[in-house]
Structure 1
């Protein structure tokens, strides 16, 4: 049963028609999240800065749902350039190291050429 939908204020949510996160009875499902700063709708050109912004956006959604990053059980990384993944490992470990979620990395194109990483997570409530 869906209990809550969380929006970040991203123009993408309104234009495409989705929520940043959906909270059900047991889980928080966070949509694929990119490195955009949603308050300014800007994005860095740097992969590390994009990864960190992704994680800050995800952390905010998880917090708004009443949970924490330590309760993340699944993460999916999507990157257009596989060589960009390893430089992100330290920041990913910083945010996910305690949770140690099941993880998948996919190489695929993203919606905008400026986007260098997209991260999707599922967390326990």
Structure 2
């Protein structure tokens, strides 16, 4: 697989994403459903945004790993949150995770009216190898 990053500008670098990712000759593509702060027993978290974001990231990593893919090959990530105001102070958690894995992904952040039950954040990804 070959990836090419397209960034006509530099301002997005501070926000830990890229404008576009071209993938040539992938061996496989993994489309990951939205991963949220749901515990292994199926219980939705009632915790704060920070705790939910950490658990959502952990769940995303687990699905990607169990499928035989690597987080560094995430090419598309959509973030759904019920509150931009609650999410934004926790953005450094997301940025540190991106940096840790060397991810270069196209990203969309959307505030939505609600997510299932008590959830505040959900991460949906496309991963290639």
**TM-score in same-fold range (> 0.5):** yes
Paired position in structure 2 for 1:118: 122
Determine if contact 1:27/1:124 at 8 Å carries over to the other structure. Answer: yes
What TM-score results when the alignment is normalised by the length of structure 2? 0.71
1 CA distance for matches of 2:51 and 2:89? 11
Equivalent pairs counted in the alignment come to 102
Candidates 76, 91, 94, aligned match of 1:92: 94
Does 1 or 2 have the higher relative contact order (CA < 8 Å, sep 6+)?
Answer: 2
Paired position in structure 2 for 1:106: 110
Point out the structure with max Rg over C-alpha: 2
2 CA distance for matches of 1:113 and 1:41? 10
Gaps (5+ residues) in structure 2?
A: 1-25
SS at match of 2:92: helix
2 CA distance for matches of 1:40 and 1:73? 27
- Note the 1:42-81 alignment, pairs <5 A: 42-81=44-83
Q: Please, what is the CA RMSD of the aligned residues?
A: 1.8
Deviation >4 Å, runs of 4+: none
Farther-moved stretch of structure 1 (109-118 vs 83-92): 109-118
